[in-house]
């Protein structure tokens, strides 16, 4: 049986994502802006992006590329950025009705301009 499949009632989580939140900017004694970064790792089950989700997001200029299911919605505290398999994503929508106590994070891969 492959990882991330359903076994009876339990779902296997074959991935780990790092949820990232940023604190309010502060300034040091030299006037340089600093910002606290808080990271939290959660187990996730990757899922595809539904065609309707992709179409609706495209109308807003967004390009969803990944959906991650988190079993316990208490693990998500409104973070807008995450890292999964070495790639950075913006959370563009949260589906709170995904399944029982879990949620789905619909994500768009961050594009870096090489600077």
pLDDT at 20: 96
User: What is the reported pLDDT for 13?
Assistant: 74
pLDDT tens digits, 5-48? 444 455 667 899 999 999 889 999 999 999 899 999 999 999 87
Superfamily of domain 6-22+35-109: Bacteriophage SPP1 head-tail adaptor protein (2.40.10.270)
Least confident of 5-9, 57-61, 63-67, 91-95: 5-9
Q: Are 49 and 65 in contact (CB under 8 A)?
A: yes
Q: Report the alpha-carbon distance of residue 4 to residue 14 in Å, rounded.
A: 5
pLDDT range class, residue 1, cuts 50, 70, 90: very low
Ordered by start, the domain boundaries in the chain are 6-22+35-109
Provide φ and ψ at 56, rounded to 5°. Answer: -60, -40
| pLDDT at residue 99, rounded to an integer | 66
């Amino acid at each position: 049986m492959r990882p991330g499949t359903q076994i009876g009632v339990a779902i296997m989580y074959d991935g780990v994502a790092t949820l990232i939140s940023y604190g309010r900017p502060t300034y040091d004694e030299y006037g340089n802006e600093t910002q606290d970064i808080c990271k939290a790792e959660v187990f996730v089950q990757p899922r595809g992006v539904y065609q309707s989700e992709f179409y609706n997001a495209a109308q807003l200029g967004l390009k969803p590329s990944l959906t991650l299911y988190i079993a316990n919605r208490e693990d998500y505290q409104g973070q807008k950025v995450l890292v999964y398999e070495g790639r950075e994503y913006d959370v563009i929508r949260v589906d709170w009705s995904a399944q029982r106590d879990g949620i789905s994070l619909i994500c768009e891969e961050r594009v870096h301009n090489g600077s």
